[in-house]
A and B are shown apart, each in its own frame.
Chain A
Amino acid sequence: DAGVTQSPTHLIKTRGQHVTLRCSPISGHKSVSWYQQVLGQGPQFIFQYYEKEERGRGNFPDRFSARQFPNYSSELNVNALLLGDSALYLCASSLEPPPLTYEQYFGPGTRLTVT
């Protein structure tokens, strides 16, 4: 069985540009969450989606947005990139959203470098 997949694996962008990151959840999983992991730190929650609706949002600026599609895949968009946006962006999927389950399964991440 395929796990959570993310694309691209690596990305280099320039300050001010925008970026779109993609995630496909485990088959049958309906909930997707996005996290930002800066080097040396734990993941930080950005968004959680279930059935195409935003169910949770972390403390990130409006430059960050996301959406979930009918097939439960998801995109994370970041506009007006800053150097500080350089990080590993992780997608996690779960069968159901919280509080039905808190057990999430992570993809390998997309490494974004902003220069």
Chain B
Amino acid sequence: GQQLNQSPQSMFIQEGEDVSMNCTSSSIFNTWLWYKQDPGEGPVLLIALYKAGELTSNGRLTAQFGITRKDSFLNISASIPSDVGIYFCAGQLRNNNDMRFGAGTRLTVKP
């Protein structure tokens, strides 16, 4: 099926460090989105990407839509303790109305 492979599964970093995570697929996606989920809450939209090669920033977050349309990455610069949570990539398949999610990257930031 059209799975999204998200890596790494988990990361343990020191406050102030930069973070990078990515999503890959064997299928082509029209849209890539990145969400953050805190315990007991629903995912919160961070960044949406619509064009191959697009690079978009939201504060300390930067995400890119891969040129092949099959991958995306998310970078977080100068991490802070409130960055802790699970980050999900999600993609909208071409000619399909549903959204596919990766399994998530669990980020832990040590003060």
* Residues of chain A having any CB pair with chain B under 8 Å: 4, 33, 35, 40-45, 48, 55-58, 90, 92, 97-99, 102-109
Contact = CB atoms under 8 A, between A and B. Distances in A.
B111 interface: no
B59 interface: no
Given A97-B97, A108-B40, A41 B45 contact: no
Contacts of B6: 42
Given A55-B97, A99-B92, A102-B30, 13 more contacts: A42-B88, A42-B102, A42-B104, A43-B43, A45-B98, A48-B98, A56-B98, A97-B97, A102-B33, A103-B48, A104-B45, A105-B45, A108-B42
A106 B88 contact: no
B15 to A, nearest CB: 26
A98 B97 contact: yes
Contacts of B101: 35, 42-44
27 contacts: A4-B42, A41-B103, A42-B4, A42-B88, A42-B90, A42-B103, A42-B104, A43-B88, A45-B99, A56-B96, A56-B97, A57-B98, A58-B98, A90-B42, A90-B43, A97-B97, A98-B97, A99-B97, A103-B45, A104-B45, A104-B99, A106-B43, A106-B44, A107-B42, A108-B40, A108-B41, A109-B41
Interface SS of chain B: helix, strand, loop or mixed? Answer: strand
B99 A102 contact: yes
Contacts of B104: 41-42
Contacts of A109: 41-42
A102 B31 contact: yes
